[in-house]
Structure 1
Amino acid sequence: MQDDSMRDWPEVRAWRKAKRAELIERRLALPATDGAEAAAVVANLRAAEVPELATGLIGFYWPFKREIDLRPFVRDCLKTGARAALPVVVEKGRPVEFWAWQPRMKMKPGIWNIPVPAERAPVQPDVLLVALVGFDEAGYRLGYGGGYYDRTLAALSPRPLTLGLGFELGRLPTIHPQPHDIPLDAIVTERGIAWHRSRGRPLSDTAEGYASPPCFLHELDCT
């Protein structure tokens, strides 16, 4: 059951700051030599068979603080005809831009020294793969607290399909969502994939083939 007792934004913000630090510490403590959990997340993403990942434009992220490294997966997607882009903070407090990315292209340090393409080539993603610090049962994401994801998703039109990727250690009953928080369409972890929406719409409003009911891939009774 969700705890909705926190309704004051300063209180929620303080709670998120503490929870964010706790979850990042737990993620950093994962054994560096054991990539089984990360590999399982990527395997579940592949198993979802999202059409946009095969032929669309994929907005993804450069791994930071032991986030799941999607670069090998995205390289495979490029071989099937997809294109890729990385988020770039061009102005503090504004939506990010997505700049076209290819393997072995020239990069430069961006915010927090995360590599970004050296040349500005803005594009519009069809699907976003978003890193999770934490997430809740309703599909809301706990990130790094900068608000860039929510501002960006609110500004993108048409809205891309948005999938969050993280570890089960980040699962929370609720992040105490606020009016500015935008939920993800699906959450992918080492346990499986859970669909919540499709481009922000309830699953009952769409007939897209990959918009299955919220469930985990290994559960046989989720049809």
Structure 2
Amino acid sequence: MNTENDKKPQNGSYASPPCLAHEIDPAYFDPMAVDPAQARDVAHWRKAKREELRAARKALSVEQHAIISEQLSEQLENVLHARFGGAKGHVLSAYWPIKGEPDLRKLMVKLHQAGVIIALPLVETKAAPLVFRRWTPETKMVRGDWNIPVPPADAPQIMPDIALAPLVGWDGDRFRLGYGGGYFDRTLAALDPRPLAIGVGYASSRLPTIYPQPHDVPMSLILTEQGVQAG
């Protein structure tokens, strides 16, 4: 279904969504489709959107980033109090911020002090589900995949009750646009019981759709600095 309109212009974005499905019939797109051409077009479209959304968040000033991070931390606290009574004794998988992601590290310390058990995800085996190691403010971090700080190998492995997933983009059906490695989707599919999965990101990164594919797992809810957006 490729056409000349699908070609990538010089400004780095696509002229239209994958396969021009929206121009034929807005309800046409089949999220369970496995057509190779459609999957290829979706992958190209997602790559362009990642670049666009990451550039937008990197353009935020230090002050803007700090304000949004603080607002998002407050919104997350509200969710934890409303759904888990504060989450004391529960395992919360957080994340170490990279590439302009909202910074929730102050909240991680606060939650730890309030009795929430904090974990951080990491890649232990390529193309396999993530593992989760316990984190405290005293943890001596080491460099993991993509040079992201992670707890060391002797930190206890624990399973999360609540898992935060940083978003590059998101849509109203709670699907998450990540970095393209598929690790979080693979992990959620493997966990039993499945944790409450909270997609964390910027309100401005909402998309009409991410064109979900069969491997995409929706979040339990999407949370931005404006509160719960879907879920």
**TM-score by structure 1 length?**
0.83
Deviation, structure 1 residue 158: 0.8
Question: Structure 2 residue aligned with 1:66, among 77, 100, 109?
Answer: 100
Equivalences, count? 196
2:176 paired with 1:176: no
2:88 paired with 1:54: yes
1:129–1:165 CA contact under 8 A, matched in 2: yes
2:198 paired with 1:163: yes
In 2 relative to 1, CA 4–174 (structure 1 residues): closer, same or farther, beyond 3 Å?
Answer: farther
1:2-56 CA distance string (max 9 Å, x none): 6755861111011001101110111111111232222211111112223173330
Question: Structure 1 residue aligned with 2:135, among 97, 101, 108?
Answer: 101
2:168 paired with 1:142: no
1:4–1:176 CA contact under 8 A, matched in 2: no
Q: Give, in whole Å, the separation in 1 of the partners of 2:145 and 2:196.
A: 25
2:60 paired with 1:25: no
Q: Which moved more, 1:107-116 or 1:118-127?
A: 118-127
1:106–1:118 CA contact under 8 A, matched in 2: yes
1:55–1:81 CA contact under 8 A, matched in 2: yes
Counterpart of 1:40 in structure 2 is 71
- Runs of 5+ in structure 1 lacking a partner? 197-223
Q: What amino acid is the match of 2:221?
A: A
Q: Give, in whole Å, the separation in 2 of the partners of 1:4 and 1:54.
A: 45
1:68–1:166 CA contact under 8 A, matched in 2: yes
- Runs of 5+ in structure 2 lacking a partner? 1-21
Q: What amino acid is the match of 2:204?
A: L
Alignment of 1:212-223 (within 5 A): none
Moved over 3 A (4+): 1-7
C-alpha RMSD of the superposition = 1.7
Q: Give, in whole Å, the separation in 2 of the partners of 1:88 and 1:96.
A: 6
As a proportion of its length, which structure holds more strand? 1
**TM-score by structure 2 length?**
0.80
Q: Which moved more, 1:113-122 or 1:16-25?
A: 113-122
Counterpart of 1:132 in structure 2 is 167
Q: Which moved more, 1:67-76 or 1:139-148?
A: 67-76
1:57–1:126 CA contact under 8 A, matched in 2: yes
Question: Structure 1 residue aligned with 2:148, among 103, 114, 121?
Answer: 114
Q: What amino acid is the match of 1:28?
A: K
Q: Give, in whole Å, the separation in 2 of the partners of 1:164 and 1:11.
A: 24
Larger radius of gyration: 2
Q: Give, in whole Å, the separation in 2 of the partners of 1:54 and 1:186.
A: 20
